[in-house]
Chain A
Amino acid sequence: MRNPQLNATGSLQHLLTLEDLPADIVERILDTAVPFVSIAERDVKKVPLLRGKTVFNLFFENSTRTRTTFEIAAKRLSADVINLNIGVSSTTKGETLLDTVDNLAAMNADMFIVRHGQSGAPHLIAQHLSATDRRHIHVINAGDGRHGHPTQGLLDLFTIRHYKQDFRRLTVAIVGDVLHSRVARSLIHGLTTLGTPEVRVIGPQTLLPTAVESLGVHVYNDMRAGLAGCDVVVMLRLQNERMKGSLLPSAGEFFKHYGLTVEKLQLAKSDAIVMHPGPMNRGVEIDSAVADGKHSVILPQVTFGIAVRMAVMSILAGN
């Protein structure tokens, strides 16, 4: 079956997942984001590429930060942005997902940024638009269930490339609640696509997906062993609100075994970078001394995230 996010000529039509996204498209997005970083440093932080286009932020699940970064990115491309927190409006009145989409398409939407608690919701919308011959409307997955968060994965890749250049010599560790993390899944796919030789996941067995090794990663339950020799350490948020049942004894116990401290970070390479998708739980998965320390690139990730989303939107809208 044809990759549903590519059009008939192999160009990017939607951004739904980093799984099976060809390396040349990933690299094109990263290359395009470079000049967008400097747009944000000008007095006029806007370019006219999406002038007259209407972008809908369709958030069926709350996320102030992700929604804001997409909103800023679209506005810096001169698009008109409409924010809809659907969790608290139409669906509570009984409207289906695709009815909501049809209504917004009837308002001449050009792009949907979709965040949904159910894996596959952005795919469903993209397929619906294709099946009803509205291929000019683009869909970007802003996080769906446990499945993926491709723009977060791309901004992580951009950050790693910015500091470490060549993926083909890196050891990258992803630490913590991998089980609930769509960020981890997207990043693993992206790192693999770009030829990263050693990707590790570190966490308690209860917070690792079954058969995670099939993604091509090495599994460590001992954080100290897993951090040894790493170039990049990606800390995941301990997703308290997703935690059902007792996968963990306590947050304090988690920090003791899997929290990143200055002392544990010394096991990684001396020039290692520390990343976190935010929002951070200080004292749960990461110590403040690390979060605010010289290895941390957590705030540059936020800045790069705007540029990467501008790149994705401007490539999609031009295809």
Chain B
Amino acid sequence: MTSAALPDAEATLERLAEKMRGAVAHDACLIGIYSGGAWLADRLALMLNGEHPVGYIDVSFYRDDYAQKGLREKPATTALPFAVAGSRIVLVDDVLYTGRSVRAAINELFDYGRPESIELAVLIDRGGRELPIEATYVGARLAVAHDLSIVLQRHSEGRLELSVEAAGGAKGA
């Protein structure tokens, strides 16, 4: 697969927002998983009809590959400017793959309180789950070879774009 074969990120985001409108609780808190999910949560809060507080979560301290890979460089600070206990929450991420980041995010959330409910919104669902986790709202589904990563980028003017990289990190064709 090449980056050219990927769906347009902005159109996919519009499709995701369309699925969420009317389905997401009017006061649901949007929590973006750093870094791609955080950009998407900011955008969705403006696109949805409702009052949606936005928070950000960095799952570095809850990842299950810490023993193998060590601590990630430059972890960001989780910032949840609302009470998690009793809130209806939508976790937002760019790409749903193994489900391990979402597992880590849910674990972290419970250290802030017991939410009323948690839903999951993702821009891309690329299959390949290793945990029993499914998204509530999906922008697009995509089959991708396991040695490739899909990466969401944000340009300086705010426009979002998807690209493909070798899973090691080097840029794919």
Instruction: List residues of A whose CB falls within 8 A of some B CB.
Output: 11, 28, 31-32, 34-35, 37-39, 42-44, 46-49, 314-315, 318-319
Q: Is there an interface contact between A43 and B112, defined as CB atoms closer than 8 Å?
A: yes
Q: Is there an interface contact between B61 and A39, defined as CB atoms closer than 8 Å?
A: yes
Q: Is there an interface contact between A47 and B61, defined as CB atoms closer than 8 Å?
A: yes
- Chain B residues with CB below 8 A from A28, complex form: 73-74
Q: Is there an interface contact between B71 and A44, defined as CB atoms closer than 8 Å?
A: no
Q: Is there an interface contact between B112 and A35, defined as CB atoms closer than 8 Å?
A: no
Quote the shortest CB–CB distance from B105 to chain A (angstroms).
Answer: 13
SS class, residues of chain B in contact with chain A: loop
User: In the bound complex, how far is the Cα of B73 from the Cα of A11, in angstroms?
Assistant: 12
- Chain B residues with CB below 8 A from A315, complex form: 70-71
Query: Quick check: is B128 within 8 A (CB to CB) of the other chain?
Result: no
- Chain A residues with CB below 8 A from B50, complex form: none
Quote the shortest CB–CB distance from B110 to chain A (angstroms).
Answer: 8
Q: Is there an interface contact between A48 and B61, defined as CB atoms closer than 8 Å?
A: yes
5 contacts between A and B (CB under 8 A): A35-B75, A38-B78, A38-B79, A43-B112, A315-B70
Complex partner residue of B77 from A35, A48, A49, A314, CB under 8 angstroms:
A35
Complex partner residue of B60 from A35, A37, A43, CB under 8 angstroms:
A35
Quote the shortest CB–CB distance from B35 to chain A (angstroms).
Answer: 14
Quote the shortest CB–CB distance from B148 to chain A (angstroms).
Answer: 26
- Say whether, besides A35-B58, A48-B62, A318 and B74 are in contact (CB < 8 Å): no
Mask: chain B, 63-86; 1 = CB below 8 Å from A; 0 = not: 000110111011111110000000
Instruction: List residues of B whose CB falls within 8 A of some A CB.
Output: 58, 60-62, 66-67, 69-71, 73-79, 107-108, 111-113
- Chain A residues with CB below 8 A from B112, complex form: 42-44
Q: Is there an interface contact between B71 and A318, defined as CB atoms closer than 8 Å?
A: yes
- Chain A residues with CB below 8 A from B60, complex form: 35
Q: Is there an interface contact between B111 and A49, defined as CB atoms closer than 8 Å?
A: no
- Say whether, besides A38-B78, A48-B62, A318 and B69 are in contact (CB < 8 Å): yes
Quote the shortest CB–CB distance from B71 to chain A (angstroms).
Answer: 4
- Chain B residues with CB below 8 A from A44, complex form: 111-112
User: In the bound complex, how far is the Cα of B116 from the Cα of A301, in angstroms?
Assistant: 37
- Chain B residues with CB below 8 A from A42, complex form: 111-112
Q: Is there an interface contact between A43 and B69, defined as CB atoms closer than 8 Å?
A: no
Q: Is there an interface contact between A35 and B70, defined as CB atoms closer than 8 Å?
A: no
Quote the shortest CB–CB distance from A173 to chain B (angstroms).
Answer: 31
Q: Is there an interface contact between B78 and A35, defined as CB atoms closer than 8 Å?
A: yes
Quote the shortest CB–CB distance from B134 to chain A (angstroms).
Answer: 24
**Closest A residue to B112 using CB positions:** A42
Known A34-B77, A35-B60, A319-B70; further 14 A-B contacts with Cβ < 8 A: A31-B75, A32-B75, A35-B75, A35-B76, A35-B77, A35-B78, A38-B78, A39-B61, A42-B111, A43-B112, A47-B61, A48-B61, A48-B62, A318-B70
- Say whether, besides A43-B112, A43-B113, A49 and B74 are in contact (CB < 8 Å): no
User: In the bound complex, how far is the Cα of B62 from the Cα of A44, in angstroms?
Assistant: 14
- Chain B residues with CB below 8 A from A314, complex form: 61, 71
User: In the bound complex, how far is the Cα of B78 from the Cα of A35, in angstroms?
Assistant: 7
Quote the shortest CB–CB distance from A11 to chain B (angstroms).
Answer: 8
- Chain A residues with CB below 8 A from B76, complex form: 35
**Closest B residue to A38 using CB positions:** B77
Q: Is there an interface contact between A31 and B111, defined as CB atoms closer than 8 Å?
A: no
**Closest B residue to A45 using CB positions:** B111
Quote the shortest CB–CB distance from B26 to chain A (angstroms).
Answer: 27
Q: Is there an interface contact between A35 and B113, defined as CB atoms closer than 8 Å?
A: no
- Chain B residues with CB below 8 A from A47, complex form: 61-62, 108, 111
Quote the shortest CB–CB distance from A1 to chain B (angstroms).
Answer: 25
Quote the shortest CB–CB distance from B7 to chain A (angstroms).
Answer: 33
**Closest A residue to B68 using CB positions:** A318
- Chain A residues with CB below 8 A from B71, complex form: 32, 49, 314-315, 318
